[in-house]
Chain A
Amino acid sequence: MTAAKGHARAEGRGAMLEIKNLNVSIEDKLILDNLSLTVNAGEVAAIMGPNGSGKSTLAYVIAGKPAYEVQSGEILLDGENLLELEPNERALKGVFLAFQYPTEIPGVAAMTFLKAALNAQRRARGESDLTTPDFMRRVREVANALKIDQEMLRRPLNVGFSGGEKKRFEVLQMALLAPRIGVLDETDSGLDIDALRVVADGVNALRDPNRAFLVITHYQRLLDHIKPDVVHVMARGRIVATGGPELALELERNGYRDYAEEAA
């Protein structure tokens, strides 16, 4: 993988993403309650939890979506506090969010968008823009692996894409942008089993000692395909349990009831 070029710092097991005592509210309602979490380089960490536990909020706050008010706490990526950075600066540091509901942008071809994003990131690293043939070749390689045909890339971004197409396009962007940390917000929702496998293969191909993933999901089934190193259980705005892959299986059997009460 040429992926980690540009932000190759902590190799292997060191802490890459550290969230410390994070309190976040939206319209005066506390959503994340003193949440702390560490993700190590090379790790795939799953976050599971019931609806309304604050999983998506966590994803958005890492990426810097406006409207969420951070009361206190820190989010460190490679030791640097992301909370002091604009959303695009965070992206340039290597934060990638695969959206649960990717946004439509009428009139802007998916390919145009990809090229603009890729070149913005290259310039931020002091690299020159890719030539069109180089760009096309790279897109084609990744697109083939994700079973995305060229016709789809000529369509306006996410406009009229099926649920599966949207999610595959998110993974395509992640592969091209080669982030330091990929946050996948319920990327499995709305996917049939074949699409799920394609998406999971796409993510697995990006696993790298210099990269980490935060995989947010409701269900165990995604984790059958993307094997996590660590599973965190989230309830009522905080991490209430942490374990190995077996924790996901236990949740599948027993549901979230025990944890929901524990956090209360």
Chain B
Amino acid sequence: MAADQETVDRVRSIDVDAYKYGFVTPIESDLAPKGLSEETIRFISRKKDEPEWLLEWRLEAFRRWQTMEEPKWARVSYPPIDYQDIYYFAAPKSAPAPRSLDEVDPELLRTYAKLGIPLVEQEILAGVEKPQVAVDAVFDSVSIATTFKAELAKAGVIFSSFSEAVRNHPDLVRRYLGTVVPSTDNFYATLNSAVFSDGSFVYVPPGVRCPMELSTYFRINERNTGQFERTLIIADRGAYVSYLEGCTAPKRDENQLHAAVVELIALDDAEIKYSTVQNWYPGDSEGRGGIYNFVTKRGDCRGARSKISWTQVETGSAITWKYPSCVLRGEASRGEFYSIAISNGYQQVDSGTKMIHLGRNTTSRIISKGVAAGKSQNTYRGQVSAHRLATGARNFTNCDSLLIGHECGAHTVPYIEAKNASAVIEHEATTSKVSEEQMFYCLQRGLSAEEATALIVNGFVRDVLQQLPMEFAVEAQKLISISLEGSVG
């Protein structure tokens, strides 16, 4: 209830200009030469001082990528992307891997403070129970700081930037990299494999429950730059980790590409909870600018009784193409996908999930809430398949869409495939509008149109919001109100 009040307060205090993360940090960058070639890839690999095997892995992906075509099946449209007109690497000049927080450029610390991300290791005050969150901050192509590393190391948890993991834990990286999303997986994932710059790496050893929430905060700052980060999270036998991801970018008139890959691996009895609050710049009210968010996220429930849960709140990006999925390989493993996708203005969302049931008695659950306003198009695309050996597989899918206004669209595209007669797959879908009756009822009690919309939408997405870690739920709720600003006449 308090959170709902928070929403209403937030709506009340909204500026005319709704996207409040659109500022640019004035900082000098080290850029790779524009365009994509083997040279660019060698440049990135050299910058990062990578071992030979990783360079080879990148080059092989690049050769493969040159033979591939952009996927065209999603319900989104945009002018052709000139892949030679993008910078594939941009790093603040001042940041040659600082050793401690004291060495980070104050300009960067200020940037994150402005974004509400504390890059400081606050002490827990005596008697005050405030959960700590460890943060890895990725600025354009490099990780600039990771907090609470020492604290986590005590529990045996490895949490670092990807580049650092390649240096310090090469065996782990080599063993798991590309085992969930192979470098040949799809156009964008293959591009990422060739040019990925940084991201986060997490390893939680057997039987360890990670003592705090981990999070990575992605920020695109530089103009004409793509961000291609790579995240790899491994929960060993019986381990548990909850990980959060947030994203923002400055306002720019041109579109920018963000093509990330996230791989999750859960071994026997392990659990990974991965939450995203995605708030990339969505473009202006005329549909100019904004991020193209073409992302491949996949979790592998490799061990028996393992569990992977995706929760996403998507409010940003001009175009979203994203299907966080679970491969349910281990016996009795479980996959979950909870999603809120909100689109306004000219945003285009094509998002959903895949639940691939391979093992016996695997279960999955999909709850998707799409909210479309303005002139936006919002598509849920989901695949549930039960393979021959997936005896006793069960899935439940619930997919609801809410329309605000007359010029937006909501679409639901489920693919269901059962090759095992014992599989039970349920799919429910509804589409509704914020009715005139509901609006009038709220207005009659004195709420403004904005307050009423925020209240109704928050009610609609409630089931999913409850899946988010507490701090993020409040943040997400504010974000929902802000992204719907201007959606009511």
Q: Which A residues lie at the B interface, using CB under 8 A?
A: 63-67, 86-88, 90-92, 95-97, 99, 102-109, 111-113, 115-117, 119-121, 123-124, 129, 132, 156, 173, 177
Partner of B449, one of A88, A96, A117, A132: A88
Partner of A87, one of B4, B440, B461: B440
Partner of B5, one of A104, A115, A156: A115
A108 pairs with B459, CB closer than 8 A: yes
Closest to A122 in B: B446
Most buried by A among B455, B461, B463: B455
Query: Which A residues lie within 8 Å of B1 (CB)?
Result: 109, 111-112, 115, 132
Partner of B456, one of A65, A96, A105, A111: A105
Closest to A102 in B: B441
Query: Which B residues lie within 8 Å of A92 (CB)?
Result: 446
Asked whether B278 is an interface residue with its Cβ less than 8 Å from the other chain, the reply is no
Most buried by A among B4, B446, B462: B446
- The 0/1 profile, CB within 8 Å of A marked 1, for residues 1-35 of chain B is 11011001000100000000000000000000000
CA distance A112 to B4 in the complex (A): 7
- The 0/1 profile, CB within 8 Å of A marked 1, for residues 407-440 of chain B is 0000000000000000000000000000111101
A107 pairs with B459, CB closer than 8 A: yes
B446 pairs with A88, CB closer than 8 A: yes
Shortest Cβ gap from B24 to chain A (Å):
35
Shortest Cβ gap from A227 to chain B (Å):
26
A116 pairs with B4, CB closer than 8 A: yes
CA distance A221 to B441 in the complex (A): 27
Partner of B446, one of A106, A107, A124, A129: A124
CA distance A119 to B444 in the complex (A): 14
CA distance A64 to B445 in the complex (A): 12
Partner of A116, one of B436, B441, B447, B460: B447
A116 pairs with B451, CB closer than 8 A: yes
Asked whether B183 is an interface residue with its Cβ less than 8 Å from the other chain, the reply is no
Partner of B443, one of A67, A86, A108, A156: A86
What are 5 of the A-B contact pairs (CB < 8 Å)?
A: A64-B444, A67-B436, A87-B443, A107-B463, A120-B447
Partner of B444, one of A97, A115, A123: A97
Instruction: From known contacts A87-B440, A107-B460, A107-B462, infer whether A121 and B446 are also in contact, taking CB-CB under 8 Å.
Output: yes
Partner of B8, one of A66, A119, A173, A177: A119
Shortest Cβ gap from B330 to chain A (Å):
34
Query: Which A residues lie within 8 Å of B8 (CB)?
Result: 116, 119-120
CA distance A124 to B2 in the complex (A): 20
CA distance A87 to B441 in the complex (A): 9
CA distance A70 to B454 in the complex (A): 29
Query: Which A residues lie within 8 Å of B435 (CB)?
Result: 103
Shortest Cβ gap from B338 to chain A (Å):
14
Partner of B448, one of A66, A108, A120: A120
Give the contacts of B322-345 with A (CB-CB under 8 A): none
Instruction: From known contacts A65-B440, A116-B451, A132-B2, infer whether A105 and B459 are also in contact, taking CB-CB under 8 Å.
Output: yes
CA distance A177 to B442 in the complex (A): 13
A88 pairs with B443, CB closer than 8 A: yes
B459 pairs with A87, CB closer than 8 A: no
Query: Which B residues lie within 8 Å of A91 (CB)?
Result: 443-446
Give the contacts of B232-270 with A (CB-CB under 8 A): none
CA distance A129 to B8 in the complex (A): 12
Asked whether B458 is an interface residue with its Cβ less than 8 Å from the other chain, the reply is yes
- Which 3 residue pairs spanning A and B have beta carbons closest together? A107-B459, A108-B459, A117-B445
Shortest Cβ gap from B438 to chain A (Å):
5
Query: Which A residues lie within 8 Å of B463 (CB)?
Result: 107
Q: A106-B459, A115-B4 are in contact. List 20 more A-B contacts (CB 8 A).
A: A67-B436, A87-B440, A87-B443, A88-B444, A88-B448, A91-B443, A96-B444, A99-B441, A102-B441, A105-B442, A105-B456, A107-B460, A108-B456, A113-B455, A115-B5, A116-B447, A119-B5, A120-B446, A120-B448, A121-B446
CA distance A229 to B351 in the complex (A): 61
Closest to B445 in A: A117
CA distance A165 to B448 in the complex (A): 26
B447 pairs with A117, CB closer than 8 A: yes
Query: Which A residues lie within 8 Å of B451 (CB)?
Result: 116, 120
CA distance A11 to B451 in the complex (A): 33
Instruction: From known contacts A113-B455, A116-B8, A119-B8, infer whether A106 and B460 are also in contact, taking CB-CB under 8 Å.
Output: yes
Shortest Cβ gap from B125 to chain A (Å):
24
Partner of B445, one of A107, A120, A129: A120
CA distance A116 to B3 in the complex (A): 11
Query: Which A residues lie within 8 Å of B2 (CB)?
Result: 132
Most buried by B among A119, A121, A156: A119
Query: Which A residues lie within 8 Å of B461 (CB)?
Result: 107
CA distance A90 to B447 in the complex (A): 11
Most buried by A among B437, B438, B443, B463: B443
Closest to A87 in B: B443
Instruction: From known contacts A107-B458, A108-B455, A108-B458, infer whether A87 and B444 are also in contact, taking CB-CB under 8 Å.
Output: yes
Closest to A158 in B: B441
Query: Which A residues lie within 8 Å of B462 (CB)?
Result: 107-108
CA distance A76 to B447 in the complex (A): 22
Closest to B435 in A: A103
CA distance A173 to B8 in the complex (A): 19
Closest to B3 in A: A112
Query: Which B residues lie within 8 Å of A64 (CB)?
Result: 443-444
Partner of A66, one of B4, B436, B438, B456: B436
Instruction: From known contacts A66-B440, A111-B1, A116-B4, infer whether A177 and B459 are also in contact, taking CB-CB under 8 Å.
Output: no
Partner of A156, one of B436, B441, B459: B459
Give the contacts of B111-169 with A (CB-CB under 8 A): none
CA distance A102 to B437 in the complex (A): 9
CA distance A112 to B2 in the complex (A): 8
Query: Which B residues lie within 8 Å of A102 (CB)?
Result: 441
B437 pairs with A103, CB closer than 8 A: yes
Shortest Cβ gap from B96 to chain A (Å):
50
Closest to A120 in B: B446
Give the contacts of B449-471 with A (CB-CB under 8 A): 449, 451, 455-456, 458-463
Partner of B438, one of A88, A105, A117, A124: A105
Closest to B436 in A: A66
Shortest Cβ gap from A161 to chain B (Å):
13
Closest to A129 in B: B5
B459 pairs with A116, CB closer than 8 A: no
